[in-house]
Amino acid sequence: QVQLVQSGAEVKKPGASAKVSCKASGYIFTGYYVHWVRQAPGQGLEWMGWINPQSGGTKCAQKFQDSVTMTRDTSISTAYMELRRLRSDDTAVYFCARGSPTGGSYYGMHVWGQGTTVTVSS
Amino acid sequence: DIVMTQSPLSLSVTPGEPASISCRSSQRLLHSDGHTFLDWYLQKPGQSPQLLIYLVSNRASGVPDRFSGSGSGTDFTLKISRVEAEDVGVYYCMQGLQTRTFGQGTKLEIK
């Protein structure tokens, strides 16, 4: 079945970087956008950006443009989100989600990963 | 940036009774292709979000027909015709016209 499996929890010190992976299975990885969404403890959902796995093109929310890098490895159907210069307020659960088809019309985020907790603490 | 505003932020509903959540966008969400890019998601306690409704009124696969979405322009509504215990969680609207923005969330509890 279609699923996204994310990497395990991470604990990082302020100023470090964290890289979360999202492995897709059950569908053609390059056929759909992958979005990244985060949720701080007790807070709502915050969209971070998307990557087009086919072209490698990305789009970030303005807030994350200088601190987030999204990449993919099509050979292993995996998307990555790296967050640099971590601060305590980056402590959150990070989700990946499958979005619209890369060559088709708008579709929403139909499939979500299980989430990866990143804790930033000195 | 498009701002999404939900109301109410919480509601408590008796099982079997209806529920309604409103979502307002700061700009019209109508795309040039004629579709309106507005989704609804439910995050059940301890789970990842799940898509309920996309393009205002299209139910995602497996979503019960007691869930329905409506609206146009800048005003949208999610309705649950008869709330069940499994519907508890936080409901979010999200615009997809310009990047993505979520509403603040509406917490639904069972009385």
Of A34, A62, A106, A112, which to mutate for an interface test with B (greatest number of B Cβ within 10 Å)?
A106
> Counting Cβ atoms within 10 Å, is residue A2 exposed (0-12), middle (13-18) or buried (19+)?
exposed
A75 touching chain B per CB within 8 A: no
B39 contacts in chain A (CB < 8 Å): 108-109
Q: What is the pLDDT of residue A105?
A: 85
Q: What is the pLDDT of residue A48?
A: 98
Q: What is the pLDDT of residue A103?
A: 83
Residues forming a β-bridge with B108: B11, B89
In angstroms, the separation between the Cα of residue B32 and the nearest Cα of chain A is 12
Instruction: Indicate the pLDDT class of residue B60, thresholds 50, 70 and 90.
Output: very high
Residues above pLDDT 70, as percent of chain B: 100
Phi–psi pair at B44, nearest 5 degrees: -75, 155
Instruction: Indicate the pLDDT class of residue B17, thresholds 50, 70 and 90.
Output: very high
Q: Is the pLDDT reported for residue B71 higher than 90?
A: yes
Cβ atoms of residues A99 and A35 within 8 Å: yes
Mean pLDDT calculated for residue range B1-22: 97
B49 touching chain A per CB within 8 A: yes
Per residue in A40-97, pLDDT (tens digit) is: 999 999 999 999 999 999 999 999 999 999 999 999 999 999 999 999 999 999 999 9
Name the residue facing B48 among A59, A107, A114 (closest C-beta). A114
Q: What is the pLDDT of residue B61?
A: 93
Token look-up 């995050």 returns B43
B54 touching chain A per CB within 8 A: yes
Instruction: Indicate the pLDDT class of residue A104, thresholds 50, 70 and 90.
Output: confident
